[in-house]
Amino acid sequence: MSSRTGHTITVEPSATHVRAVHEGRLLAESRRPLVLRETGCPDRYYLPPEDVRTALLSPSDTRTHCPFKGDAAYWSVPGAADLVWAYPEPLADVAAIRDHFCFYATEVVAD
């Protein structure tokens, strides 16, 4: 857990069944995501690379920096730029998310 000046981040394993679909195409599906909870942000599911159809993703030139997580790299799909991101070298407090993929639109599947 990271906590700086009232800003908290936790990363925990989850058994929640989640998937990412764009225009009817399944991009990822996992029953073992990591859930990242961050002050002021929606919960985000980070999926292991084995559960992501990476062949459908194109690397983007976009890079962003978060003072709490580190530098993010992005991927796109046709018609949706920068739809997916990951932290190849996350900060120590969130090291568990290394190389896991996060999608802007991830749905929870009711099993």
State how many domains the chain has: 1
Segments of the chain assigned E as strands = 2-4, 7-13, 18-22, 25-30, 34-38, 44-47, 58-66, 70-77, 80-86, 101-103, 107-108
Phi/psi class of residue 101: alpha, beta or left (left: φ > 0; alpha: ψ in -120 to 50)? beta
Give the pLDDT confidence score for residue 3 in this predicted structure. 52
CATH code assigned at 57? 2.170.150.40
Give the pLDDT confidence score for residue 111 in this predicted structure. 61
Give the pLDDT confidence score for residue 110 in this predicted structure. 64
Closest to 60 measured CA to CA, from 36, 37, 84, 40:
84
How many C-beta neighbours within 10 Å does residue 95 have?
12
Contact 31, 15 (CB under 8 A): yes
- Please list the pLDDT of the chain residue by residue as tens digits (111 residues): 555 567 899 999 999 999 999 999 999 999 999 999 999 989 999 999 999 999 999 999 999 999 999 999 999 998 899 999 999 999 999 999 999 999 987 777 766
Give the pLDDT confidence score for residue 109 in this predicted structure. 78
CA distance 20 to 52: 9
